[in-house]
Amino acid sequence: MPVQVQITEGNIEVTPSVGGLATGMMSVNQTFDSLWIGWSGVVADVNRKQVDIALKKEGCVDVQLTHEDVELYYEGFSNKTIWPLFHYFNQFVEFDEEKWQAYKRVNRKFADVIAENMEGVDKIWIHDYHLLLLPQMVKEKFPDVTIGFFLHIPFPSYELFRIIPWRTEIINGMLGADLLGFHTFDYERHFMSSVRRLLGYDININEISLPKRIVKVDNFPMGIDYDKFHETAIESQKHSIRDKSEVRKELERYSLLYPETRFILSIDRLDYTKGLINRLEAFELFLQKYPEYQEKVILVMLAVPSRIGVDQYQQMKSEVDEVVGRINGEFSTINRTPIWYFFRSLPFENLVDLYNYCEIALITPIRDGMNLVAKEYIASKTDGRGVLILSEMAGASKEMSEALIINPNDKAQIADTIKKAIDMPVEEQMERNAILQERLKRYNVGKWASDFLNSLDKVRLREQKSLAKRLTPASKNLIMKKYCQADYRVLFLDYDGTLTGFKNNPKHARPDQELYDILDNLSGNPKNKVVLISGRDKETFQEWFGNRSYTLIVEHGVWLKEAGGDWKMIEPIDDSWKDGIRSSLEFYVDRTPGSFIEEKSFSLVWHYRKSDPELGLNRAIELKDELTSLVANMNLEILEGNKVVEIKNRGINKGKAALKVLQEKPTDQIIAVGDDWTDEFLFSELPNEAITIKVGMSQTIAGYKVENFEEVRGFLKQLACEQ
C-alpha cells in the first residue's frame, strides 16, 4: 500500500510508504480517481473499523488477512514457492498443497474486495507475484473491465517454470489480464514461451490469441522518482552535519581522520536473491588481491530486515553475520574495520545522503527483477561523480550499460572491477553518469506508469473495436432477413478451423455426420450454392466431398469442381519447380522432429503443428528466409498459414477463385467464412456488400467475428432452417 499503518497503544497512525512501487503509483493515484486495494499489514484483532476509516481517507481499502493467511499465503506460497522459483533458487522451492490452497483462497479474497468496490470502475491494475491468479478471477466476473498486470520480479525460463505442479493454473490466471507487463524483454519472452508450450495458443509478435480475446504482452522497465532523489540530495547537502544520520556522521568523521579512504556502498533488503554473500566474498578477495587498499577501502553494507518469518531469511541473516565477522576478523586493525554492517531500514533523507556520499555502489544480485537501488544511487549524485558496479542479473543492467557490469558469480571479476572503479578517472565517471542520469530522468516512474496505462487504453480501444465485430444475435437476424429475401446466394466456406477443429495430423480432421448434415441441408436448397474453399489437396476433398452437391475449390484456388462435374484447373499453371524446392524442405523435416511435407499438385507445404512450438516457429522463420532468396526469380510465393509454410505459384488465391465462381450468375447474397489469413484474400476480393465472417479473435478485414467452428456450425444450422 502507499501508506503504512502503525498501531501503538490503541492509536492508529498512517504514514506514507517509501520505496519504488509506492512512490511510483502515488503519481498515478493523483492523476486518476482511483482506489488502492491491498493488504495493510494489520492482522491483529484490533479495531478494524478504525483501520478502515483511516485507510479510506488515503484512498485505500484493506483486504483482511488472518494469521493463517499470512503464514500460508504470504510467507508460504508467495515467498516459499513463487519467489524462489521465479528467481531460479529452485533448491528453496516448496510444493505444498495447503499453501497453494491458501494462495487461491487469498487471491479470491482480493477478487471479492474488488467486486465490492466495482462501481464506476473501468480499469484495474494488478501488481506482482502475490496475485497471479487474480486477473482471471476478476475477468470471469467482470468481462468488460480492462485489466492490466505487472510482474515486478523475473519470469523464469520455461524449463524452470514447468516444474511447478500448478503451472497451468498460474499461466491461465495471468492471462485473465488484457495487458501483461514485465521489466525486461527476457522475462516477456520466457512468459511467451511458457504460454506456447503449456497452452499452445498462437502468438503474433507480442499478442496472444486466446479463444475469446487477445492478450497483449510488453516490457515496461520501471523507473524511479528521479527528481525526488536528486532534489533531496541537493537539499541534504545544505544541512549541517549535526542533522545527518549517525552512519553519515561516522563516515564524515572517518574521512577527516583518513582522507584517502574510499567508501563502497551496498544496500538491499536482506534476501538470498540479492547476492550478499558473494558480494562479501568478492570484497574479501579484493582485499587479498590488492593489499595496498586494505586500509583505504570500507564497505558500508546496509541490509533491510525482510520476511523474517521465512526460514531461509533467518539462516541468511546468520550467514551474513558470520561472513562479515570473519572478514572483519581477518582484516581489521586497531583503528580500522573494513566492513561496516547495519541491519536496519533508514529514513528516506538519510538513504539519499548515503547514496550521495559514497564513491562506489556495489550491487550484485544473483537475480533481481529490476533493482531500484542502482537507479536511486545514480539519481542521488549531484556532482556527477560516483561509480556503479551492477550485476548483469538485475533487470536494471539492461538499461544501465554505462555502469560497470559484472557477473555476480565471478568473484575475481568483481574484485578487479572494484579496483577499476577506484581507479576510474573523474571525467570518465562524469561522462558515464551524465548518460545514465539523462535516461533515468526521462524514463522516470511517472513515465513508466503512464506508458503502461496508455498501452492499457489502446488495448481497451482495440478490444472495443473487436467486440463491435462480434456476430451478435441482432446482426444474425439482419443477415437472416436478407438471406430470406435473396433468390440466389453463394456461401464460401473454408474447411480447417472454420467448419472443423484442427488436428495434429490434417488427415484426421475428417468431416463428421453433423457437418455433412448441415452442408447437405444448405446445398439442398436450390437457392443456395455452397462452395467449400480450402488449401487442402484435391485427392482429400475428392474422397470426403467428391459425391456431394457442393462446389469445391482446393489448393487455395488452383482446382475447381462443380457438383457432379470433374476437377478443372482455374488457370493453367506449371509445377516443374517442385523438385528443387522439395529437397530444401526435406532438409527442414530432418532437423525439425514432428514436421512433415504435404505435397499438392501445385504447392508444397511444410507442416510443423506437431513439432516443439518454439523450434517449429524458429525453423519456419529460417525456412521463409531461405525460400525468399531461392524463389526470388521464380513465379512463386510463400504463404504462412496456421503452423504451416506453403510454397505455391504466384497469383493464385482464394479471392481470385471466388470471383471466378461469382462470374457465372448474378448473386443476391454472398456469405464467406474463414479463419486463416489466407481467407483474408477471399474477404478482400469479394464485393463490399458480401457478409464476411472471421473465426477467431485475431485482426481481420472481415465484417464480423465468431469465436470458433462450433459457432459457425450453429449459424449455418440456423441458415439451413430458412428457405
DSSP single-letter state for residue 676: S
21 binds ligand ADQ (CB under 6 A): yes
Phi, psi of 144 (to 5 degrees): -90, -10
Number of residues written out for the chain: 723
Cβ contact 588:581 at 8 Å: no
270 binds ligand ADQ (CB under 6 A): no
> What are 92's three cell numbers?
528453496
Q: How far apart are CA 569 and CA 364, in angstroms?
A: 68
**Residues 302, 400, 552, 558: which binds ligand ADQ (CB under 6 A)?**
302
**Residues 78, 146, 266, 371: which binds ligand ADQ (CB under 6 A)?**
371
Q: How far apart are the first and last CA of the chain?
A: 63
Residue 250 or 599 with smaller CB distance to ligand ADQ? 250
User: CB burial class (10 A; 0-12, 13-18, 19+) of residue 295?
Assistant: middle
> What separation in angstroms does the CA of 167 have from each of 194, 198, 377?
9, 8, 37
310 binds ligand ADQ (CB under 6 A): no
**Residues 4, 14, 19, 596: which binds ligand ADQ (CB under 6 A)?**
19
362 binds ligand ADQ (CB under 6 A): no
**Which span (19-27, 213-221, 453-461, 656-664) binds ligand ADQ, by CB under 6 A?**
19-27
Examine the residue annotation and report whether 494 is marked as an active-site residue of this protein.
Answer: yes
Q: 3-class SS at 637?
A: strand
41 binds ligand ADQ (CB under 6 A): no
Which DSSP string do the residues of 277-296 spell out, in sequence order?
HHHHHHHHHHHHH-GGGTTT
Phi, psi of 554 (to 5 degrees): -125, 175
**Which span (44-52, 287-295, 369-377, 429-437) binds ligand ADQ, by CB under 6 A?**
369-377
267 binds ligand ADQ (CB under 6 A): yes
Please state the closest distance from residue 410 (CB atom) to ligand ADQ, in A.
21
User: CB burial class (10 A; 0-12, 13-18, 19+) of residue 128?
Assistant: middle
Residue 339 or 691 with smaller CB distance to ligand ADQ? 339
Q: Which helix (H) or strand (E) holds 262?
A: strand 262-269
Residue 191 or 683 with smaller CB distance to ligand ADQ? 191
Phi, psi of 486 (to 5 degrees): -80, 140
**Which span (1-9, 257-265, 345-353, 660-668) binds ligand ADQ, by CB under 6 A?**
345-353
659 binds ligand ADQ (CB under 6 A): no
695 binds ligand ADQ (CB under 6 A): no
**Which span (165-173, 368-376, 530-538, 710-718) binds ligand ADQ, by CB under 6 A?**
368-376
Please state the closest distance from residue 714 (CB atom) to ligand ADQ, in A.
46
Residue 20 or 535 with smaller CB distance to ligand ADQ? 20
Residue 338 or 369 with smaller CB distance to ligand ADQ? 369
> What separation in angstroms does the CA of 650 have from each of 631, 653, 662, 676?
10, 8, 22, 18
Q: 3-class SS at 567?
A: strand
Cβ contact 618:588 at 8 Å: no
**Residue window 469-508: x/- pattern of binding to ligand ADQ, with contact defined by CB under 6 A:** ----------------------------------------
Say which amino acid occupies 283. Answer: F
1 binds ligand ADQ (CB under 6 A): no
DSSP single-letter state for residue 361: E
351 binds ligand ADQ (CB under 6 A): yes
399 binds ligand ADQ (CB under 6 A): no
700: left (phi over 0), alpha (psi -120 to 50) or beta: beta
Residue 154 or 497 with smaller CB distance to ligand ADQ? 154
Please state the closest distance from residue 306 (CB atom) to ligand ADQ, in A.
8
**Residue window 209-228: x/- pattern of binding to ligand ADQ, with contact defined by CB under 6 A:** -------------x------
**Residues 376, 537, 675, 680: which binds ligand ADQ (CB under 6 A)?**
376
> What are 355's three cell numbers?
547514496
Cβ contact 289:415 at 8 Å: yes
Could you identify the residue written with the cell 509506492? 22
- Beta carbons within 10 angstroms of residue 642's beta carbon: 16
- Please give the size of the binding site for ligand ADQ, defined by CB under 6 A: 20
Say which amino acid occupies 603. Answer: S
Please state the closest distance from residue 368 (CB atom) to ligand ADQ, in A.
4
**Which span (65-73, 343-351, 523-531, 681-689) binds ligand ADQ, by CB under 6 A?**
343-351
Phi, psi of 523 (to 5 degrees): -75, -15
521 binds ligand ADQ (CB under 6 A): no
**Residues 2, 20, 557, 674: which binds ligand ADQ (CB under 6 A)?**
20
User: Which residues lie across from 303 on neighbouring strands?
Assistant: 268, 343
Please state the closest distance from residue 496 (CB atom) to ligand ADQ, in A.
44
> What are 641's three cell numbers?
498459414
Q: Which helix (H) or strand (E) holds 671?
A: strand 669-674
Please state the closest distance from residue 556 (CB atom) to ligand ADQ, in A.
49
Q: 3-class SS at 697?
A: coil
Which of 178, 268, 368, 494 is catalytic? The answer is 494
User: Cα dihedral sign for 266, 269, 273, 278?
Assistant: positive
**Subset of 221-260 contacting ligand ADQ (CB under 6 A):** 222
> What separation in angstroms does the CA of 429 have from each of 360, 386, 396, 425, 451?
10, 6, 18, 6, 31
369 binds ligand ADQ (CB under 6 A): yes
**Which span (14-22, 280-288, 425-433, 688-696) binds ligand ADQ, by CB under 6 A?**
14-22
Cβ contact 573:558 at 8 Å: yes
304 binds ligand ADQ (CB under 6 A): yes
> What separation in angstroms does the CA of 480 have from each of 395, 473, 669, 672?
56, 10, 11, 14
**Subset of 150-169 contacting ligand ADQ (CB under 6 A):** 152-153
**Residues 54, 192, 264, 372: which binds ligand ADQ (CB under 6 A)?**
372
**Residues 178, 225, 368, 416: which binds ligand ADQ (CB under 6 A)?**
368
**Which span (363-371, 508-516, 519-527, 663-671) binds ligand ADQ, by CB under 6 A?**
363-371
**Which span (5-13, 324-332, 344-352, 553-561) binds ligand ADQ, by CB under 6 A?**
344-352
Residues within the interface to ligand ADQ (CB under 6 A): 19-21, 152-153, 222, 267, 269, 302, 304, 345-346, 351, 368-373, 376
Q: Which residues are marked as active site?
A: 494
